[in-house]
Structures are given as C-alpha cells and as structure tokens.
Amino acid sequence: MEMEAICAALGNKTRYQLIKALKEKSIATCCNRFEFFENGVSVGDVVKFTGLAQSTVSQHLAVLEKANLIRKEKRELWSCYFLNQEVLEQFQEQLKKDLQ
C-alpha cells in the first residue's frame, strides 16, 4: 500500500467526495441491475452524481484506481467501479499508527 499515493488521491475534493459516496452507497447506480456488479457504480452514475464531464470523471476514477482505492470490473460491454474496502481499512490503520 502506497500511503503517499492514497493521500495524493484523497487530497482532491472531488475524489474524496467520490470515496465517501461509494462508502456510504449514496450514488444511485445502474450497476445493481446486474447481479455480478452489485454495489458498483458506472462512469455514467458518477457523472450524474458529480455533474462533471465524462472525461473528467474518468480521470478521477483512474487516479483512485491507480491508488488502489477502487477497482474496475468489466463484463461484456459494461464496466463498474467498486470501493476497495480492504485497502481503505489498511490506510486508516496505518494513518492512526503514523500519527500517534
């Protein structure tokens, strides 16, 4: 786990809000109509949630994916993004240790 990469990714207000929304499941999603994508969000879902352009959303998702905070799964024509809960929990624990 790269602490610096995660901190950099979360240092952007939009990306931080996306992680919070994914954790709270507050983004309405079309991915739930497919059993294999349950609890995922599509780029279109995030565009609706943020009001940002699709290209901007894709860039933000790419940064979060590179930091391993989310993962992308592609099936046939569809791609959905999922919160990487394990990495998020490891980050929280490491941050607690580092700041004690």
Give me the CATH topology for the region 3-98.
Arc Repressor Mutant, subunit A (1.10.10)
**CA–CA gap between residue 84 and residue 78 (Å, rounded):** 19
> Band of the pLDDT at 97, cuts 50, 70, 90?
very high
**CA–CA gap between residue 8 and residue 67 (Å, rounded):** 9
Q: At residue 28, what are phi and psi to the nearest 5 degrees?
A: -65, 135
**CA–CA gap between residue 52 and residue 65 (Å, rounded):** 18
pLDDT in tens, 28-71: 676 666 665 667 888 888 898 889 999 999 999 999 999 999 99
pTM for this predicted structure: 0.86
**CA–CA gap between residue 29 and residue 2 (Å, rounded):** 29
Domain chopping of the chain, boundaries = 3-98
